[in-house]
Amino acid sequence: MIKQCIYRIGVGILILFLFFTLSVVGSARCADADGDGILSVADARIALRIAVRLDIPTEEQQKDCDLDRDGAITPADAREILRLSVGFGRSDDSANSGMPDAEFIGLTDNYYKVYNKNGVTYIDSIIIANKTYALPDDYDTNGLVNECRDAFAALQTAAKKDGVNIYLNSGFRPYSEQKELYDEYVRDYGTDYADAYAARPGHSEHQTGLAIDVTNDTGYFTGSPEAQWLHANCVQYGFILRYPEGKSDKTGYSPEAWHIRFVGTEKAAKLNGSGLCLEEYYGITSFYFQQTDQPPILF
Ligand SMILES: [Zn+2]
């Protein structure tokens, strides 16, 4: 009996490990033409040979090397792979500036570079916290990040000028607080329920110190004039609506009219202008390795 139990736990751990390994390797494999797990100049050379028809690509290479996804491996793809392999990054993004001491861990589905710095994931110089990418338990900004706090104050003042009253309902939430919240749900109602109503510790965007839940005088925010004002104006102040309508399968969360995330004015304009949510824009996932059926709601 015990033996069988240990065996089952062992198999479970093995499956989880394999799934995790494949996910990570999967993201790092793009453009890795020789499949050695490292993006190197050799990969660029292979792509170039294929581009000028000295080599016939395998199906895998065809997928990996076609960075611009135009259906053919061209010298442009080879050039892009070369840029990536020597650390210049995509030619059309500035994702690598300011991240000199971070570890390059792979490419997203949209070929953005993914960095890890002290356990924190960065893409396009933005901290990523969702169901796939967790923050370390000791990541603590000790309150809202200054830029975010100042931007929200400016946003609030602008709203007031338009006769709209908005307030900060919830800002920074440390790991320990999220853990208490989540554990309480698990204790009282079980894991499925907990996952439906609270982010797991480390996975809450509030731990970044860059997310704010906004409220109004009535406390009924969704669909309110205040929500409409917020959605129309937050971008100018560097915020994006993080969990929009119709994107639950991408963000991993039910729509939240009140949750905004500070990314700076330039990136907010870029992200918002694309009409895509953050996960879609960068080509990343948001799901727990043990997937739940219901997209959770985050308070
Ligand atoms: Zn929130």
User: Would you say residue 137 lies in a domain?
Assistant: no
Which position among 226, 256, 279, 280 bears the catalytic label?
256
Mark whether 53 and 156 lie in a shared domain.
Answer: no
Q: For residues 278 and 283, give the distance between their C-alpha atoms in angstroms, rounded to a whole number.
A: 8
User: Would you say residue 138 lies in a domain?
Assistant: no
Given a cut of 70, whether residue 266 has pLDDT beyond it is: yes
**pLDDT tens track for 72-118:** 898 888 888 888 787 776 655 444 455 767 887 777 877 787 888 99
Mark whether 163 and 223 lie in a shared domain.
Answer: yes
Mark whether 124 and 153 lie in a shared domain.
Answer: no
299 Cα: distance to centroid of ligand 1 (angstroms): 6
User: Would you say residue 254 lies in a domain?
Assistant: yes
**Residues counted in the chain:** 299
Q: Could you give the number of structural domains in the chain?
A: 2
Residue 190: the pLDDT is 92
196 Cα: distance to centroid of ligand 1 (angstroms): 14
27 Cα: distance to centroid of ligand 1 (angstroms): 28
User: Would you say residue 51 lies in a domain?
Assistant: yes
Given a contact cutoff of 8 angstroms between Cβ atoms, the answer to whether 216 and 159 are in contact is: no
**pLDDT tens track for 272-289:** 999 999 999 999 999 887
Domain region containing 68: 2-128
Given a cut of 60, whether residue 29 has pLDDT beyond it is: no
12 Cα: distance to centroid of ligand 1 (angstroms): 32
User: Would you say residue 69 lies in a domain?
Assistant: yes
Average pLDDT of 251-264? Answer: 94
User: Would you say residue 139 lies in a domain?
Assistant: no
Q: For residues 47 and 270, give the distance between their C-alpha atoms in angstroms, rounded to a whole number.
A: 30
Given a cut of 60, whether residue 22 has pLDDT beyond it is: no
Residue 8: the pLDDT is 59
**pLDDT tens track for 122-168:** 998 899 999 999 999 999 999 999 999 999 999 999 999 999 999 99
More reliable by pLDDT, 51 or 146: 146
57 Cα: distance to centroid of ligand 1 (angstroms): 46
The question of whether 279 is a catalytic residue gets the answer no
Residue 193: the pLDDT is 82
Model pTM? 0.72
Phi-psi region of 277 (alpha: psi -120 to 50; beta: other; left: phi over 0): beta
Q: Tokens representing 183?
A: 């554990």
